[in-house]
Amino acid sequence: MSLFDQVPAVPPDGTFALVEAYRADDHHLKVNLTPGIYRDENAKPWVLPSVKQARAALLADQSLNHDILPQLGHTQFLSAARQLAFKDTLDGRFVTSIQTISGTGANHFIASLLASHLHPKAVWIPDPTWDNHQGIWRHVDPGIERRTYPYYDENTFGIDGDALLSTLREQANPGDAIILHACAHNPTGVDPSPELWEGIAQVCEEKGLFPIFDLAYQGFATGDVDNDAWAVRHFTTRSSGNNNNNNTPLEFAVAQSFSKSFGLYSERVGALHVVARTRDGAAKVDGVLKRISRAEITSMPAFGARIVAAVLHDPVLEAQWRQDLKTMSGRLASMRKRLYEELVRRGTPGRWGHVLTDIGMFSMTGLSPEKVAAIKDRFHVYLLPNGRLSFTGLTEGNVEYVAESIYQIVVHQ
């Protein structure tokens, strides 16, 4: 008998299980359309030229050492990360920023902070969403109810804005947290319009909700970092003048990742920014976040943060990085167009126009779990069970094969 015999069995993570199944598949035409990791035209990881240059300079620096970072993280990295997220919208706002283990760590830190000190009754999560949103909050505090709000309309391949707003107005309670994808929604690739963002902000004000922006794809979505940060900056500058005329600005958090925008997937570079109403409030957040970080990590890893800081504090490297973003977003846009053309050319039943208008890495195919299983078994094309397709796995060499596989499954399965 083991002390651990009483521990319940936990099923393997579905996404990682699919990745392992793909690796074990020896079919010569196999295609992996599951991961949210950028690949180049050869389906290989791409080291951004800006990152390559910054990395080479760091490695050549003989004074580089491995001392621990300050408790909040790499100072130059944090200043650059904050500027990237908020630009010039922070005038008069009080912000606490801390380095994290990518966006996952930022989401975990803010969940821990809210659970320990603000005690929300519920966290509102979009339906559908990145599956780790549920997992993080379940792990931090199972007693906080994880509720979903309508987001994606499977019939229109768009956002059900009316249902989204009415659900929050009718069912959310003051103090509840709400998770918002800042851009390039995962898994749908469909983002709110400025008008819908306005409505979401108003509901957050009316109901006293605490928004948490998951900013995982800034610059990667449209190729423009300012476009992709529009919602964050709108919430930063907005005052709730419609809420009892008290002009009290929203308090919220931004969980920021640099995995996609810098290709630093294994370096786990991220930041959490908490926007408070008062200087005293921000100082208290600072203390709590330091305590959480001390208990869980003690000192943040430095190398990836140094790369980001080197790029964003050097005008030449930053210009190269912005071009790198256009290269990545441009290739994904090209693959969207190619897949759409091949699906339409075959007369594939269904509506496919959203493939051209969705943003970022992902789109929903509308394929049922049964069809997803069939396309894997018959054609060795791997999708998530919900039908999400990652365009990072498409290349000029396999896009026709993928389109033909989808066509065959839709028509004959």
Q: Hey, which residues are catalytic here? A: 130, 214, 260
**Coil, strand, or helix at residue 89?**
coil
Q: Name the nearest CA neighbour of 261 among 318, 219, 224, 209.
A: 219
Tell me whether residue 93 is exposed, middle or buried, using C-beta atoms within 10 angstroms of its C-beta: 0 to 12, 13 to 18, 19 or more: middle
Cα separation, 40 vs 250, whole angstroms: 40
Phi then psi dihedrals of residue 157, to 5 deg: 55, 35
Measured CA to CA, the distance from residue 199 to residue 168 in angstroms comes to: 11
Coil/strand/helix, residue 243: coil
Helix, strand, coil content of the chain in percent (nearest 5)? 50, 15, 35
Please give the Cα distance from 394 to 383 (Å, whole number): 12
SS3 46: coil
CA distance 245 to 253: 23
Q: What whole-number distance in Å separates Cα of residue 371 and Cα of residue 387?
A: 9
Question: 171: part of which helix (H) or strand (E)?
Answer: helix 161-171
Q: How far is CA 395 from the centre of its chain?
A: 23
Task: Report the first-to-last Cα separation within the chain, whole angstroms.
Answer: 48
CA dist 192 and 194 (Å) reads 7
Helix (H, G, I), strand (E, B) or coil at 264: coil
Instruction: Name 252's bridge partners.
Output: 275
The letter for the amino acid at 208 is: G
